[in-house]
Structure 1
Amino acid sequence: MVRATFAGFSTALSALQANQKRLDIVGQNLSNMNTAGYTRQQLETSSLNYTKPIAHYMNGSEIAVGFGVHMDKVSQIRDPYLDAQYRTQMKKAGYAESMQTSLDVLSRPFDESNIDGIRTAIDDIQAVLTDMQDLDKFHDTVFESDLRSRMNELTNLLNDAARQIESAEKSEFSKLDGKGTSENGAVDTVNQILQQIGDLNRQIKQNQILGQQSLELQDERNNLLDTLSSYIPIEVSYFKDSDHDGVKLGA
């Protein structure tokens, strides 16, 4: 079989176009190296060869030689295993941060390192009681008044600590429902993230049906999934059917 006159030029042209596209993708990756949530991209290619039906009518003794390179698609360089590990650590970090914030608030009423608190008041009461062990001082009104004063101080400190604990409890609940604050609670935030992920799923699916990769939309979805993992434990699976497009959820 005699090859077409410009077949070699077509092969070279496909190589130039593929490498130009690779350079474009490298530039895109470099320009977005500091973009939050951006995932590196790569060009997937395959060899152009005798894949057309006409190949069945060719001489079987001919050695099949390809006609260059075909640009299949641009994909993301992303490892699902690393994503799962990262989101697991995000869950642990989010839990630890929330717990540390709560404990910091609770530690204020009982902080004995910076202020004279409950421990000092108890020591003062013990000192007065020790003095009153002397029978001559047992019925002394001065010591009785001092003991009453010390007990009042301890009672006031305990009442103040109780009020701060109640305030800390209300603050923790407000973080969940957002009541009494100008910001959304964690429940509303999680619901909003889930709604945004559902909207992105439908948009990505529609674009892919039309032949668009929507890699940036996938980056945005991954960003939301990472944020969601800091609130609740999640497992991410990908489906390609109408039962998982989020339409029923958004209805």
Structure 2
Amino acid sequence: MSTFSGLSTALSSLHAQRQALEVAGQNVANANTVGYTRQRADLTGVEPVSVPSLHSGGASVGNGTRVTGIARLGDVFADARLRAETGAASFTATRAEVYGRLESTIAEPGDKGVSHALNQFWSSWGSSATRPTPTPPAPSSSRTRTRSPPASPPATPR
């Protein structure tokens, strides 16, 4: 192992640790942000380059460290449940607002509401059933009758 390969190993590790510190800094900066989930830098060692040969010892020195990814540490199921419940709460709030506007529009309950008007309507039907008013005479027509009234039906033979 040469000096430059040792420096290369140290440099790759420094780059990986710097990126992990940046992720940690983001976690600290967003600690009070609503909805932010922590992140973590996943670090792995770089595999050594080995050339198989007859007399290789098998144990080789690695080539440093690298970042394989940045993972969110939130609970996937809790996040899905939160989104579903937030949507349901928003739907319910919107429905309550619409019902409130509808209730103020039709003025229920009260003397100017739909139920009051329907009660008056049905009571007028009830009063007309108990005290019918005479029907007005049919309007006179300038037409004359063209048909004579029907004759009595013929007697049926026995």
Rounded to whole Å, the distance in 2 between the matches of 1:161 and 1:82 is: 49
Rounded to whole Å, the distance in 2 between the matches of 1:103 and 1:29 is: 43
1:43-122 to 2 correspondences below 5 Å: 43-50=41-48, 52=49, 54-57=50-53, 59-108=55-104, 109-110=107-108, 118=110
1:45–1:72: 8 Å Cα contact kept in structure 2?
yes
Question: Which amino acid counterpart does residue 97 of structure 1 have in structure 2?
Answer: A
CA RMSD, 1 decimal: 3.2
Instruction: Count matched residues.
Output: 115
1:26 alignment counterpart = 24
Q: CA deviation at 1:93?
A: 0.7
Query: Does 2:122 align with 1:158?
Result: no
Distance 1:33 1:63, change over 3 A: same
Distance 1:59 1:94, change over 3 A: farther
Rounded to whole Å, the distance in 1 between the matches of 2:102 and 2:116 is: 9
What TM-score do you get using the length of structure 2 for normalisation? 0.54
Distance 1:161 1:45, change over 3 A: farther
Distance 1:100 1:159, change over 3 A: closer
Rounded to whole Å, the distance in 1 between the matches of 2:78 and 2:54 is: 48
Distance 1:61 1:38, change over 3 A: same
Rounded to whole Å, the distance in 1 between the matches of 2:29 and 2:116 is: 54
Rounded to whole Å, the distance in 2 between the matches of 1:58 and 1:21 is: 40
What 5-or-longer segments of structure 1 have no aligned partner?
Answer: 112-117, 119-153, 163-251
1:17 alignment counterpart = 15
Name which structure has the greater RCO, CA cutoff 8 Å, separation 6+: 1
What TM-score do you get using the length of structure 1 for normalisation? 0.37
1:49–1:64: 8 Å Cα contact kept in structure 2?
no
2:12–2:65: 8 Å Cα contact kept in structure 1?
yes
- Of Structure 1 and Structure 2, the greater helix share is in 1
Percent identity of equivalent pairs: 28
Rounded to whole Å, the distance in 1 between the matches of 2:95 and 2:9 is: 62
Q: CA deviation at 1:160?
A: 10
2:45–2:64: 8 Å Cα contact kept in structure 1?
yes
2:151 alignment counterpart = none
Distance 1:58 1:94, change over 3 A: farther
